[in-house]
Structure 1
């Protein structure tokens, strides 16, 4: 069964393997298969589920709401996010203004068919809204019982520090950040992670397998397998392309004997690598079919020994991005429309 970790210095415990439905639900996978995959996650011991209003333009939240119908609410930890535009592209239908945050939480609760979410996250930083306005809105949502905890996603260390200070002044707490993190994308290690450790915040990391590249299924010099994310013209291919150069794919192939020596599959080793970071509370995993989860959940409770971690890092030296400056280019300077 999947083990639990505390989220930041809060009392909330979440499954260290958390199910995320970005890209798959409402896009790559039909509704029945998506619901079946959520049910498999529950059977395997996953109780934490991450989504966002923007995923499939609200479609992912709707599917997750249907899939979790009938499960006792106290047995689940449900996360969602606000920032990107959904539905009509109006002048206030994006960002982290008080209006958009409240429109966002009401829409998410309706689609998820719940009275509250456990974690409500700022999907990006909004340069056009005063941070105090954003934090006051989140604080009011917590006080109204519509969200139990507040987190952010892909904020820089400085933004996290400023937001955390304002939240404390306003009587609530930021507990988490949701960044991209994998053995190929380590840009949070230099500044974001130490800041969060100091402030009592955890990471809930997405793409721990680098969009599937760390599974080793992309062979250098060969066409991507049919049906893989690299062939998905609905958005998946765009996200995975940064890892599809020849040098990176060759380096990933060097991981296969390391995984074999450790008695692990490539996905299990990739997920265990991110969970080895003590500031990581959970690794987000998705699946396009239920049986994929059977393998990935086995990464829970795996402890990689020092030699294995060093071998992984050595194999990926030169292709793993560790530049902290990459954290400063994620949030748009102007609100998307």
Structure 2
């Protein structure tokens, strides 16, 4: 396993992490979740990602029980939570980024995960109804209380993150350390354009999600069959609609040929492509089967195979590289 600094912080996170969205407390049994975390930890993964909104809090409960039963030393793993969507209850003060909800959601996450503090705490979405100043000050208070160590954002715009940093500088308090954006061969603008000044001037770290574009970049959907996959879930119709687009499937078929020429799986190829970006601190893996996770955990071996020539071929196929904004 390779470890990378989380932005300009001193925290070292595994280049590959394990996330629980759509799986823990929902798609897979607690026994399988336990097995997956054990496989990841034994492979050197030290970052486990979660959120209050995953399975309405059940995901954190499952992960908390596993962390407790495994008995791993607390200083050997990094665990995160996110606040915005609420857990089981969705009352007026049970969602969003108000001082009240951010504080109470933190307490709830600590209880569900059965830990004394969160290593990483993300604002899961921007909250248009709460001043950024209020959220920044609340996060700093939680750090001072020892309940969280680092805070960050997820799916915020560059302008919103910049405002949060400015507020923290005005108050001389701790600002956001990391952002959790979607990043894959189809979704590239934030990581490769919007955030460039944040990387350069503020050392923003990133823990990227959906590196396989919800499984599309694993190649398993190219025949159009979604049976026995998450896309067969009627509640995820929006996800299926986004993934199963003809032009995207065609590009995946072409990428498969490139991966075949390198004698690697398309999933490992796509993960290695994300890992090659120096602004990526950690790539969050999702998994429902142990064999799938074991395979993807070896993606770092593929990074050296991504030569300039291979990368040029990828750009030729994808046509998704963003045009850089004028600074």
Q: Same fold (TM over 0.5)?
A: yes
Task: Work out the CA distance in 2 between the residues paired with 1:283 and 1:39.
Answer: 18
Is 1:191–2:194 an aligned residue pair?
Answer: yes
C-alpha contact 1:262 1:308 (8 A) present in aligned 2: no
Superposed structure 1 runs of 4+ greater than 3 Å apart: 320-325
Q: Which runs of 5+ in 1 are unaligned?
A: 326-337
- 1:227–1:197 Cα change, 3 Å: farther
The aligned residue for residue 334 of structure 1 is none
Q: TM-score scaled by structure 2?
A: 0.93
Residue 79 of structure 1: CA displacement?
A: 1.1
C-alpha contact 1:139 1:170 (8 A) present in aligned 2: no
The aligned residue for residue 287 of structure 1 is 287
Task: Work out the CA distance in 2 between the residues paired with 1:101 and 1:52.
Answer: 12
CA RMSD of aligned residues (A): 1.7
Q: 2:173 aligns with which of 171, 177, 182?
A: 171
Q: Where in structure 2 are the equivalents of 1:290-309 lying within 5 Å?
A: 290-300=290-300, 302-303=303-304, 304-309=306-311
Residue 321 of structure 1: CA displacement?
A: 7.8
Residue 112 of structure 1: CA displacement?
A: 0.3
Task: Work out the CA distance in 2 between the residues paired with 1:322 and 1:232.
Answer: 32
Q: Which runs of 5+ in 2 are unaligned?
A: none
Deviations 1:169-201 (CA, angstroms, capped at 9, x unpaired): 342131110011100111212212432332110
C-alpha contact 2:315 2:321 (8 A) present in aligned 1: no
Is 204-213 or 259-268 further displaced after alignment? 259-268
Residue 74 of structure 1: CA displacement?
A: 0.6
The aligned residue for residue 333 of structure 1 is none
Give the length in aligned residue pairs: 319
Residue 240 of structure 1: CA displacement?
A: 4.1
The aligned residue for residue 92 of structure 1 is 93
Q: Where in structure 2 are the equivalents of 1:131-142 lying within 5 Å?
A: 131-142=132-143
Q: Which has the higher contact order (CA 8 A, sep 6+)?
A: 1
Deviations 1:149-181 (CA, angstroms, capped at 9, x unpaired): 011001101001111122233421311100111
Task: Work out the CA distance in 2 between the residues paired with 1:324 and 1:61.
Answer: 38
Residue 38 of structure 1: CA displacement?
A: 1.0
Task: Work out the CA distance in 2 between the residues paired with 1:197 and 1:50.
Answer: 25
Q: Where in structure 2 are the equivalents of 1:309-320 lying within 5 Å?
A: 309-317=311-319, 320=320
Residue 322 of structure 1: CA displacement?
A: 4.3
Structure number having the greater helix percentage: 2
Is 1:214–2:217 an aligned residue pair?
Answer: yes
Task: Work out the CA distance in 2 between the residues paired with 1:134 and 1:146.
Answer: 15
- 1:252–1:134 Cα change, 3 Å: same
Deviations 1:69-110 (CA, angstroms, capped at 9, x unpaired): 211101001111001122222111111000000011000000
- 1:31–1:190 Cα change, 3 Å: same
Task: Work out the CA distance in 2 between the residues paired with 1:91 and 1:202.
Answer: 32
Is 1:265–2:265 an aligned residue pair?
Answer: yes
The aligned residue for residue 7 of structure 2 is 8
Task: Work out the CA distance in 2 between the residues paired with 1:280 and 1:321.
Answer: 16
C-alpha contact 1:197 1:279 (8 A) present in aligned 2: no
The aligned residue for residue 81 of structure 1 is 82
C-alpha contact 1:28 1:288 (8 A) present in aligned 2: yes
Is 187-196 or 144-153 further displaced after alignment? 187-196
Q: TM-score scaled by structure 1?
A: 0.90
- 1:323–1:62 Cα change, 3 Å: farther
- 1:313–1:194 Cα change, 3 Å: farther
Residue 250 of structure 1: CA displacement?
A: 1.0
The aligned residue for residue 331 of structure 1 is none
The aligned residue for residue 332 of structure 1 is none
Residue 324 of structure 1: CA displacement?
A: 9.3
The aligned residue for residue 27 of structure 1 is 26
Q: Secondary structure at the match of 2:184?
A: coil
Residue 265 of structure 1: CA displacement?
A: 1.2
